[in-house]
């Protein structure tokens, strides 16, 4: 058992596949601890896209010539791979978008403006990323929809004991992050989805920090929608995924309109193409989708349960190592089994931006600021934090480098 | 690491010059950088003819770069004519700071100048001769 793990998860081997990890920053070997913002890309993904651009590249869908058909075929294959990756029952339930932000906006515009009316309520949580917050805020202001929030408990988890009170008959939609990009908190979606469904509400899961890091089975979760970005899971920028249940996607009006998403158009009107084309107006980012397909192949070969286990161990070590440092306060749950690979923290007397700048000088990349979760930081009484986040290619020695970097910063700043 | 946060910069952060608020200032202006929460307020008292900075003070909260550069700026402009202060630009502040900054941190360094100039500008508009 242990032997098998070692064989399937060889970080040194994995690192060989990532050219950018061999780069230097300020003359120091790069210690990349910002994968929650965006991951690095393996050769396999870069090569898959390079290959298309160098060979069969042609616009998809409308061509009858061979290269257009091959490009279309590769695009369709990518969709099928991603459907399989999240266990969607058919590829048509996978809609390609630019990123999770676009997926959530699509839902706020197309589902929200069509199905929600004044007086209806949407339940969010206090830890949402702005991408799953602002679209609903705009909808609320525009349509008189009311927003309610699942509060944060003091241990950094969501206080789900409030659900019976929050889930009133006016609630039509519940939307929340599977994993918090700041606190790392993993919320078991079923604990929210089941009671929400029981009152007839639909549920959106923002899977941005989950799909790259752990097995996700949308059928088992029984979520109505699931959104994530390709660039956080080894894929290129410009491609993201919205999964939806077919009956909902069918009932929703299109978001953007134009070419590729119509059935027929006359001077008098148009009829919409079937899902997923209905939601993919214009030339899609098909090369990026093919790249994401290659990313999913890479992750699948590693096995997502092994990915999760690797990161849990890094988080366990990170929590242990960083909590040894004086003046450092870690945010979020202390139990690695309910934490994704993001460790946010503050250091007494040092502004996160100064810390980030000093770590940069040591070749260490961490993110600083409010991580697009300002309401959460307000709840925590903070304006900014520093965040180190892990992925498949990170190693315990990088946690050590971070800890040493923080100690050095403290010395330089007389803290 | 040490080269970036030079002793001079740290000294301005730990012992900020012209720090505090003024009683009866002619100008009070405050702005923050919402991205990192840096915040700076500048109070100015002008000399009798209104063309010279007689007294100046800043207060605020934020990273070392924002607070130290504001302190350096105060030292630079105290006693200067309004016209000279208006001529100060981004490069002048970056020269005062004297260490290389990435684009994201340049914003921190410039906050003090931004607040001072916006305050002066508003004052001049309000006190324009018809
Ligand atoms: C939880 C969460 N939701 C949404 C997003 C938005 O992702 P993107 O910027 O790729 O649209 C992010 C990315 O930072 C995230 O962490």
Tell me the CATH number at B93. 3.90.1010.10
What domain range includes position B78? 2-124
In B, which residues are within 8 Å of A383 by CB distance? 36-37
DSSP state of A76: H
CATH architecture of A11-37+303-412: Alpha-Beta Complex (3.90)
Specify which residues A343 forms β-bridges with. Answer: A388
Domain residues of chain A, as ranges? 11-37+303-412, 48-300
Confidence tier at A376 by pLDDT (50, 70, 90): very high
Residue B130 falls inside a structural domain: no
In A, which residues are within 8 Å of B109 by CB distance? none
Residue A205 backbone dihedrals phi, psi, to 5 degrees: -115, 125
Option in B5, B37, B102 nearest A413 (CB): B5
Higher pLDDT, A413 or A197: A197
Q: What is the mean pLDDT of residues A64-85?
A: 95
Q: Do A358 and B37 touch (CB under 8 A)?
A: no
Residue A8 has pLDDT above 70, yes or no: no
DSSP string, A317-351: HHHHHHHTSTTEEE-S-S-GGGB-SEEEEEETTB-
**Cα-to-centroid distance, A101 and ligand 1 (Å):** 6
Q: Do A357 and B35 touch (CB under 8 A)?
A: no
Residue A343 has pLDDT above 90, yes or no: yes
Helix axes A396-412, A352-361, angle to 10 degrees: 110
Query: Which secondary-structure segment (H or E) carries A173?
Result: strand A171-177
- Return the number of other C-beta atoms located less than 10 Å from residue A347's C-beta: 23
Q: Do B63 and A408 touch (CB under 8 A)?
A: no
Ligand 1 contacts CB of residue A177 (under 6 A): yes
Looking at residue B129, its pLDDT comes to 65
Considering only alpha carbons, which residue of chain A is nearest residue B68? A354
pLDDT digits (tens, 9 = 90+) for A191-245: 999 999 999 999 999 999 999 999 999 999 999 999 999 999 999 999 999 999 9
Residue B129 falls inside a structural domain: no
Option in B1, B14, B37 nearest A361 (CB): B1
Looking at residue B4, its pLDDT comes to 72
Residue B8 falls inside a structural domain: yes
Q: Do A357 and B4 touch (CB under 8 A)?
A: yes
130 residues of chain B, pLDDT tens digit each: 667 788 889 999 999 999 999 999 999 999 998 777 789 999 999 987 889 999 999 999 999 999 999 999 999 999 999 999 999 999 999 999 988 888 888 999 999 999 999 999 999 999 886 5
Task: Take residue A78 and report the two structure tokens written for it.
Answer: 């990518």
Rounded to a whole number of angstroms, the distance from the CA of B53 to the nearest CA of chain A is 31
Rounded to a whole number of angstroms, the distance from the CA of A230 to the nearest CA of chain B is 25
Start-end of H helices in A10-65: 11-16, 43-54
**Cα-to-centroid distance, B9 and ligand 1 (Å):** 36
Task: Take residue A297 and report the two structure tokens written for it.
Answer: 């192949």
Option in B1, B10, B37 nearest A414 (CB): B10
Looking at residue A263, its pLDDT comes to 87
Task: Take residue A194 and report the two structure tokens written for it.
Answer: 């089941």
Task: Take residue A256 and report the two structure tokens written for it.
Answer: 């953007």
Specify which residues A365 forms β-bridges with. Answer: A32
**Cα-to-centroid distance, A141 and ligand 1 (Å):** 23
Ligand 1 contacts CB of residue A389 (under 6 A): no
Looking at residue B100, its pLDDT comes to 86
DSSP string, chain B: -TTTS-HHHHHHHHS-TTBS--SS-SEEEEEEETTTTEEEEEEEEE-TTSSBEEEEEEEEE--HHHHHHHHHHHHHHTT-BHHHHHH--HHHHHHHH-S---HHHHHHHHHHHHHHHHHHHHHHHHT---
Ligand 1 pocket: which of A101, A182, A210, A238 to mutate (most atoms within 8 A of CB): A101
Query: CA-CA-CA-CA torsion for A338, A343, A349, A355, nearest 10 degrees?
Result: 180
Ligand 1 pocket: which of A35, A36, A100 to mutate (most atoms within 8 A of CB): A100
Q: Do A353 and B5 touch (CB under 8 A)?
A: no
**Going by CA atoms, what residue is nearest to atom 7 of ligand 1?**
A100
Domain A48-300: assigned CATH number: 3.40.640.10
Looking at residue B99, its pLDDT comes to 86
Q: pTM for the whole thing? A: 0.92
Option in A357, A362, A412 nearest B105 (CB): A357
pLDDT digits (tens, 9 = 90+) for A119-152: 999 999 999 999 999 999 999 999 999 999 999 9
Query: CA-CA-CA-CA torsion for A404, A407, A411, B2, nearest 10 degrees?
Result: 40
Looking at residue A1, its pLDDT comes to 42
Looking at residue A167, its pLDDT comes to 98
What mean pLDDT value characterizes chain A? Answer: 95
**Cα-to-centroid distance, A40 and ligand 1 (Å):** 16
Count of domains in chain B?
Answer: 1
Looking at residue B1, its pLDDT comes to 65
Residue A31 has pLDDT above 90, yes or no: yes
Q: Do B65 and A354 touch (CB under 8 A)?
A: yes
Q: Which residues of A touch B (CB under 8 A)?
A: 351-354, 357-358, 360-362, 368-370, 383-384, 408-409, 412-414
Q: Do A413 and B37 touch (CB under 8 A)?
A: no
Looking at residue A360, its pLDDT comes to 95
pLDDT digits (tens, 9 = 90+) for A153-162: 999 999 999 9
**Cα-to-centroid distance, A145 and ligand 1 (Å):** 24
Ligand 1 contacts CB of residue A131 (under 6 A): yes
A223 is catalytic: no
- Among A314-318, A381-385, B83-87, whose mean pLDDT is lowest? A381-385
Looking at residue A4, its pLDDT comes to 46
CA distances, A344 to each of A229, A332, A370, A384 (Å): 21, 8, 10, 10
**Residue of A350, A353, A365, A373 to mutate, testing the B interface (most B Cβ within 10 Å of its Cβ):** A353
In B, which residues are within 8 Å of A353 by CB distance? 36, 63, 65, 104-105, 108
């Amino acid at each position: 058992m242990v032997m098998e793990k070692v064989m399937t998860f060889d970080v040194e081997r994995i690192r060989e596949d990532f050219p950018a990890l061999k780069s230097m920053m300020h003359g120091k070997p790069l210690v990349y601890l910002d994968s929650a913002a965006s991951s690095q890309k393996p050769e396999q993904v870069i090569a898959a896209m390079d290959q298309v651009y160098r060979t069969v590249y042609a616009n998809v869908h409308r061509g009858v010539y061979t290269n257009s058909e091959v490009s279309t075929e590769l695009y369709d294959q990518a969709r099928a791979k991603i459907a399989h990756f999240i266990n969607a029952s058919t590829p048509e339930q996978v809609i390609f978008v630019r990123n999770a932000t676009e997926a959530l906006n699509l839902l706020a515009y197309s589902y929200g403006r069509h199905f929600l009316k004044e007086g209806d309520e949407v339940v969010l949580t206090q830890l949402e990323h702005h991408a799953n917050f602002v679209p609903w805020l705009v909808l609320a202001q525009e349509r008189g929809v009311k927003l309610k929030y699942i509060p944060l408990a003091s241990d950094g988890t969501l206080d789900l004991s409030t659900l019976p009170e929050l889930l009133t008959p006016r609630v039509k939609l519940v939307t929340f992050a599977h994993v918090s990009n700041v606190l790392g908190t993993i919320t078991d979606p079923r604990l929210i989805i089941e009671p929400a469904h029981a009152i007839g509400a639909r549920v959106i899961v923002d899977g941005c920090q989950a799909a790259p890091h752990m097995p996700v089975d949308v059928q088992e979760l029984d979520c109505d929608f699931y959104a994530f970005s390709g660039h956080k899971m080894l894929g290129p920028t410009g491609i993201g995924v919205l999964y939806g249940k077919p009956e909902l996607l069918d009932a929703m009006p299109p978001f953007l309109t134009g070419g590729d998403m119509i059935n027929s158009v006359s001077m008098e009107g148009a009829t919409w193409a079937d899902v997923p084309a209905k939601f993919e107006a214009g030339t899609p980012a098909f090369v990026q989708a093919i790249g994401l397909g290659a990313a999913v192949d890479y992750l699948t070969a590693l096995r997502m349960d092994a990915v999760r286990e690797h990161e849990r161990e890094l988080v366990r070590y990170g929590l242990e190592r960083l909590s040894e440092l004086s003046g450092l306060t870690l945010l979020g749950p202390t139990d690695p089994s309910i934490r994704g690979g993001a460790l946010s923290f503050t250091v007494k007397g040092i502004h996160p931006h100064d810390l980030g700048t000093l770590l940069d000088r040591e070749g260490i990349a961490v993110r600083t600021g409010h991580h697009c979760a300002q309401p959460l930081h307000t709840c925590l009484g903070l304006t900014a934090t520093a965040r180190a986040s892990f992925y498949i290619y990170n190693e315990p020695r990088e946690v050590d480098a971070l800890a040493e970097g923080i100690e050095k910063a403290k010395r330089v700043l007389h803290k | 690491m040490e080269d970036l946060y030079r002793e001079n910069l740290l000294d301005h952060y730990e012992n900020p010059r012209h720090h505090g608020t003024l009683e009866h200032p002619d100008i009070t202006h405050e702005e923050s950088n919402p991205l990192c929460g840096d915040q700076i307020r500048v109070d100015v008292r002008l000399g009798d003819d209104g063309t010279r900075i007689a007294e100046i003070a800043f207060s605020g909260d934020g990273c070392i770069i924002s607070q130290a550069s504001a302190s350096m700026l105060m030292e630079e402009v105290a006693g200067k004519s309004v016209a000279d202060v208006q001529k100060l630009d981004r490069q002048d502040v970056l020269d005062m700071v004297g260490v290389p900054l990435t684009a994201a941190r340049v914003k921190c360094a410039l906050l003090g100048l931004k607040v001072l100039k916006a305050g002066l500008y508003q004052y001049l508009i309000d006190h324009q001769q018809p």
